[in-house]
């Protein structure tokens, strides 16, 4: 009886602790995001207020100003958005195509120096992007592709491919090789077997790799800030810098633009999240 | 006519030779089972016939056509895999029709073929389910359905039943045999289970370490094993083997134990002093009063029972002859306590004699 009671109490205590830790973790992750959204709707006075104002007033002033003319604190939001979209979508598509082929090759074929290549790719990930920004800047400047969509896309593809390979390799590895063998016996070429059987089965893996690649490109700041200069190629994260002047920072405007940046990423994640929940595909083999 | 012929087929993995130049010819409509312990090269051989593995040497023909360098899709075969390999993203109907769809058959023909296969295998209720919603036996059936839809020349089965539980395995075994009787195609079937091999095969190919040890009908292998390996692999329980020596032309002295006469069949083939192994099945060592009385040469032994395994119609008795554990079979069983000593009859004319050095059978 006593023993049971202590056991139950301990279980309850553990559960509470579990909840508290989860709550704290989620707070750390969510509160900054929430703060950005809240600040974008507050007058500048309230943003700067110390102590903070807990029941803020609501204003759309920052959004109005942001979309307004250049003299009224406006920034070319649509250009930035378009640049971001072009660069992120294109680089994601290319990175997925290359990365998926690479991942498939690593998962299915045996070739000389395979593990060496693989470790090499991972090491490449370990190099901080910023460290590459100066050499990239010089090379791109020489090639004349600085301040172009193409240059940025190239950089992002290079950045995303190793990770995509690593992720898709894992997914393809989970698919038993008998599936493509069965498809080949059923009359497929190797190529058909991939597109009609293995790719659909690995769809969720490819989708998650795509989301990661897209978000990386969408949010990237360090390289973009070096490789772009004009309205014609600046992406949204770089655009955020427009709100910093020599002596002041327009926090409200920055938050408003940040919200505009977050929204498409959130929408995309929601659309694809069905695929991110893996496991719906398996069962075709012994399970 | 779709015979399958293998001549001097070799498979190397780097320096390791998995299949050592095997020759095998399989008749049209024959059910051939490749059986052997794991790592004996049976699956590799099947995969070479399927075209999933390259052939390192030799020649494989299907229906008179050399297929060495043809991809699987041009060999007109179908295969059932151990893990079924159903396409997880397709329904049963789509799984069944996939091969015809790839072949660009028209919808009506696909529909008819799928319906026919579904009827043969009783899949009608399951057509719109995904593989993940099926039980093991149902998945197995879909895999077989997928194989028969195309009307291939040859069916290949790679240990198709080993993922099923014992009861289902027995049931599916019967279904596979029925399927063969119904469609009559050539079937090559790989298993490590000798019971499957015995029950299904027209002809068994017993392999070991990349070599074919013996080819023959199930009863050939059971009644006339060429070596102790075949003798102990085929049949359940495995054949009893006792070390012995031929003391004179007519007597075998079992190591440190009783002496028995040399079986009539091998008299004159063994030399005095030769080391041999005497082999006999449990059915041929029976306690007095519980055996099938028939003529033939017998010898009596008094043996002490160490363990019993009652199976209903018969009881397996474990005992020792010359320090080696052997099993005997008791028909119309009565309870026997371990430690009891009984008089046994050993049917000498059913005994096999193997040369101890080469493990090969000595036979006329």
What confidence category does residue A287 fall into, taking pLDDT thresholds of 50, 70 and 90? very low
What confidence category does residue B294 fall into, taking pLDDT thresholds of 50, 70 and 90? low
Report yes or no: B131 at the A interface, CB cutoff 8 Å. Answer: yes
Give percent of chain A with pLDDT exceeding 70.
Answer: 93
In chain A, the residue whose alpha carbon lies closest to the alpha carbon of B50 is A185
Greater pLDDT, B364 or B129? B129
| pLDDT for B216 | 95
> CB distance A187–B146 less than 8 Å?
no
Taking the C-alpha atoms of residue A173 and residue A109, their distance in angstroms, rounded to an integer, is: 11
| pLDDT for A284 | 42
> CB distance A284–B133 less than 8 Å?
no
Q: In B, residues 94-113, which contact A (CB 8 Å cutoff)?
A: 98-99, 102-103
**What three-state secondary structure class fits B10?**
strand
Q: In A, residues 179-218, which contact B (CB 8 Å cutoff)?
A: 179, 181-189, 192, 196-197, 200-201, 203
| pLDDT for A212 | 87
A201 within 8 A of A175, measured Cβ to Cβ:
yes
| pLDDT for B268 | 82
Q: Which tokens hold the place of A254? A: 């920055």
A199 within 8 A of A137, measured Cβ to Cβ:
no
Is residue A71 scored above 70 in pLDDT? no
> CB distance B130–A197 less than 8 Å?
no
Does residue B79 have a cis peptide bond before it, meaning omega lies within 30 degrees of 0? Answer: no
What confidence category does residue B47 fall into, taking pLDDT thresholds of 50, 70 and 90? very high
Comparing CA positions, the residue from A253, A234, A258, A261 lying closest to residue A65 is A253
Taking the C-alpha atoms of residue B290 and residue B282, their distance in angstroms, rounded to an integer, is: 13
Give percent of chain B with pLDDT exceeding 70.
Answer: 99
What confidence category does residue A196 fall into, taking pLDDT thresholds of 50, 70 and 90? very high
Tell me: the pLDDT tens digits for B101-112? 999 999 999 999
The predicted model scores a pTM of 0.81
| pLDDT for A285 | 44
> CB distance B85–A186 less than 8 Å?
no
Greater pLDDT, A283 or B193? B193
Tell me: the pLDDT tens digits for B205-230? 999 999 999 999 999 999 999 999 99
The mean pLDDT of B9-15, rounded to a whole number, is 92
* Structure ipTM: 0.84
A101 within 8 A of A191, measured Cβ to Cβ:
no
Taking the C-alpha atoms of residue B337 and residue B341, their distance in angstroms, rounded to an integer, is: 9
With 0-12 / 13-18 / 19 or more C-beta atoms within 10 angstroms meaning exposed / middle / buried, residue B135 is exposed
Is residue B82 scored above 50 in pLDDT? yes
| pLDDT for A282 | 43
What confidence category does residue A35 fall into, taking pLDDT thresholds of 50, 70 and 90? confident
| pLDDT for B349 | 87
In chain B, the residue whose alpha carbon lies closest to the alpha carbon of A176 is B85
Is residue A26 scored above 90 in pLDDT? yes
Comparing CA positions, the residue from B34, B28, B272, B273 lying closest to residue B158 is B34
Complete DSSP assignment for A27-54 = HHHHHHHHHHHHHHTS-HHHHH-SSPPS
| pLDDT for B296 | 77
| pLDDT for A252 | 87
In chain B, the residue whose alpha carbon lies closest to the alpha carbon of A194 is B87
| pLDDT for A217 | 93
What confidence category does residue B299 fall into, taking pLDDT thresholds of 50, 70 and 90? confident
* Cβ–Cβ pairs < 8 A, chains A and B: 91
CB under 8 Å to B257, separation ≥6 — which residues?
Answer: B242, B321, B322, B323
What confidence category does residue A130 fall into, taking pLDDT thresholds of 50, 70 and 90? confident
B314 within 8 A of B272, measured Cβ to Cβ:
no
The mean pLDDT of A78-90, rounded to a whole number, is 94
Is residue A264 scored above 90 in pLDDT? no
Is residue B146 scored above 70 in pLDDT? yes
B238 within 8 A of B213, measured Cβ to Cβ:
no
| pLDDT for A269 | 81
Reported in sequence order, the residue ranges of B114-235 that DSSP labels E, i.e. its strands, are 154-158, 186-191, 203-208, 211-216
CB under 8 Å to A26, separation ≥6 — which residues?
Answer: none
What confidence category does residue A132 fall into, taking pLDDT thresholds of 50, 70 and 90? confident
The alpha-carbon gap from A202 to the nearest alpha carbon of chain B, in Å, equals 10
**Where is B200: in which H helix or E strand?**
helix B194-200
The mean pLDDT of B122-136, rounded to a whole number, is 90
> CB distance A185–B84 less than 8 Å?
no
Complete DSSP assignment for B275-320 = EEEEEE-GGGEEETTSS----S-EEEEEEEEEEEEE-SSEEEEEEE
What confidence category does residue A280 fall into, taking pLDDT thresholds of 50, 70 and 90? very low
Residues of chain B positioned with their CB less than 8 A from the CB of A185: 50-52, 72-73, 77-79
- What sign does the dihedral A88-A90-A93-A94 (CA atoms) show? negative
Is residue B287 scored above 80 in pLDDT? yes
Taking the C-alpha atoms of residue A258 and residue A239, their distance in angstroms, rounded to an integer, is: 10
Comparing CA positions, the residue from A275, A230, A215, A236 lying closest to residue A84 is A236
> CB distance B87–A285 less than 8 Å?
no
User: How many other C-beta atoms can be found within 10 angstroms of the C-beta atom of residue A21?
Assistant: 10
Residues of chain A positioned with their CB less than 8 A from the CB of B84: 284-286
- What sign does the dihedral A262-A268-A274-A276 (CA atoms) show? negative
Distance of CA A237 to the CA centre of its chain: 13
What confidence category does residue A84 fall into, taking pLDDT thresholds of 50, 70 and 90? very high
> Please, what's the largest Cα pairwise distance for chain B?
77
The alpha-carbon gap from A140 to the nearest alpha carbon of chain B, in Å, equals 45
Domains and CATH numbers, chain B: 4-233 (3.40.50.300), 240-355 (2.40.50.140)
In chain A, the residue whose alpha carbon lies closest to the alpha carbon of B84 is A285
CB under 8 Å to B152, separation ≥6 — which residues?
Answer: B76, B77, B78, B185
- State chain B's mean pLDDT as an integer: 91
Residues of chain A positioned with their CB less than 8 A from the CB of B168: none
In chain A, the residue whose alpha carbon lies closest to the alpha carbon of B47 is A181
Q: Which tokens hold the place of A42? A: 């507050």
Tell me phi and psi for residue B78, to 5 degrees.
-140, 160
The alpha-carbon gap from B138 to the nearest alpha carbon of chain A, in Å, equals 11
In chain A, the residue whose alpha carbon lies closest to the alpha carbon of B158 is A178
Greater pLDDT, B289 or A69? B289
> CB distance A187–B102 less than 8 Å?
yes
Is residue A279 scored above 80 in pLDDT? no
Is residue A181 scored above 50 in pLDDT? yes
The alpha-carbon gap from A93 to the nearest alpha carbon of chain B, in Å, equals 23
In chain B, the residue whose alpha carbon lies closest to the alpha carbon of A187 is B73
The alpha-carbon gap from A197 to the nearest alpha carbon of chain B, in Å, equals 7
Report yes or no: B285 at the A interface, CB cutoff 8 Å. Answer: no
> CB distance B85–A284 less than 8 Å?
yes
Greater pLDDT, B145 or A284? B145
User: How many other C-beta atoms can be found within 10 angstroms of the C-beta atom of residue A206?
Assistant: 21
> CB distance A283–B79 less than 8 Å?
no
Helices B107-121, B92-102: inter-axial angle, 10-degree rounding: 130
Strand partners for B204: B33, B216
The mean pLDDT of A271-278, rounded to a whole number, is 68
| pLDDT for A286 | 39
Q: Which tokens hold the place of A169? A: 């390799």
User: How many other C-beta atoms can be found within 10 angstroms of the C-beta atom of residue B45?
Assistant: 27
C-alpha angle with apex B13: B12 to B19, nearest 5 degrees? 40
B153 within 8 A of B114, measured Cβ to Cβ:
no
Q: Which tokens hold the place of B204? A: 């068994």
A56 within 8 A of A48, measured Cβ to Cβ:
no
């Amino acid at each position: 009886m006593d023993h049971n009671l202590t056991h139950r109490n301990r279980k309850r205590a553990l559960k509470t602790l579990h909840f508290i830790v989860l709550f704290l973790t989620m707070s750390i992750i969510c509160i900054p995001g929430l703060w950005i959204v809240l600040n974008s709707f507050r007058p500048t006075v309230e943003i700067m207020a110390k102590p903070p104002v807990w029941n803020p007033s609501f204003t759309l002033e920052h959004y109005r100003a942001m979309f307004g003319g250049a003299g009224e604190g406006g920034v070319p939001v649509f250009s930035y958005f378009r640049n971001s979209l072009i660069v992120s979508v294109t680089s994601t598509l290319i990175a997925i195509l290359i990365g998926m082929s690479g991942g498939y090759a690593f998962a299915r074929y045996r070739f000389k120096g395979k593990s060496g290549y693989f470790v090499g790719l991972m090491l490449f990930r370990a190099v901080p992007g910023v460290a590459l920004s100066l050499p990239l800047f010089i090379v791109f400047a020489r090639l004349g592709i600085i301040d172009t969509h193409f240059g940025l896309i190239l950089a992002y593809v290079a950045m995303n491919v190793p990770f995509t390979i690593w992720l898709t390799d894992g997914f393809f590895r989970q698919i038993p090789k008998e599936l493509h063998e069965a498809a080949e016996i059923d009359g497929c070429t190797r190529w058909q077997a991939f597109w009609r059987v293995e790719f659909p089965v690995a769809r969720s893996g490819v989708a998650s790799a795509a989301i990661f690649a897209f978000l990386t490109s969408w949010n990237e700041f360090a390289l973009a800030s070096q490789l772009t200069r004009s309205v014609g190629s600046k992406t949204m994260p770089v655009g955020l810098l427009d709100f910093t002047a020599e002596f002041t920072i327009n926090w409200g405007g920055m938050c408003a633009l940040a919200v505009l940046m977050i929204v498409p990423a959130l929408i995309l994640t929601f659309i694809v999240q069905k695929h991110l929940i893996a496991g719906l595909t398996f069962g075709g083999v012994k399970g | 006519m779709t015979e399958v012929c293998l001549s001097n087929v070799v498979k190397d993995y780097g320096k390791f030779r998995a299949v050592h130049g095997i020759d095998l010819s399989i008749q049209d409509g024959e059910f051939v089972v490749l059986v052997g312990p794991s790592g004996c090269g049976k699956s590799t051989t099947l995969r070479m016939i399927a075209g999933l593995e390259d052939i390192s040497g030799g020649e494989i023909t299907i229906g008179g056509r050399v297929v060495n360098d043809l991809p699987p899709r041009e060999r007109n075969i179908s295969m059932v895999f151990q893990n079924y390999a159903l396409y997880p993203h397709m329904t049963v109907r789509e799984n069944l029709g996939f091969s015809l769809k790839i072949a660009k058959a028209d919808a009506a023909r696909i529909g008819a073929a799928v319906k026919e296969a579904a009827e043969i295998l009783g899949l009608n209720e399951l057509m719109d389910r995904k593989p993940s919603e099926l039980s093991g036996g149902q998945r197995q059936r879909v895999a077989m359905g997928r194989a028969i839809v195309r009307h291939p020349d040859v069916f290949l089965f790679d240990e198709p039943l080993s993922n099923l539980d014992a009861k289902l395995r027995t049931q599916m075994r019967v279904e596979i045999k029925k399927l063969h009787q119904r469609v009559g195609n050539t079937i090559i079937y790989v298993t490590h289970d000798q019971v499957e091999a015995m029950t299904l095969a027209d002809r068994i190919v017993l392999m070991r370490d990349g070599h074919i040890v013996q080819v023959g009908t199930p009863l050939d292998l059971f009644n006339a094993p060429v070596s102790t390996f075949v003798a102990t692999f085929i049949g359940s329980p495995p054949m009893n083997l006792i070390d012995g020596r031929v003391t004179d032309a007519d007597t075998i002295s079992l190591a440190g134990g009783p002496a028995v006469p040399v079986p009539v069949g091998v008299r004159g083939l063994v030399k005095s002093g030769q080391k041999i192994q005497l082999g006999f099945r449990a059915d041929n060592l029976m306690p007095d009063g519980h055996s099938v009385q028939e003529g033939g040469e017998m010898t009596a032994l008094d043996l002490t029972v160490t363990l019993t395994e009652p199976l209903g119609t018969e009881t397996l008795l474990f005992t020792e002859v010359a320090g080696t554990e052997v099993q005997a079979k008791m028909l119309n069983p009565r309870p026997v306590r371990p430690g009891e000593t009984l008089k046994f009859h050993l049917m000498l004319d059913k005994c096999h004699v193997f040369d101890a050095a080469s493990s090969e059978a000595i036979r006329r």
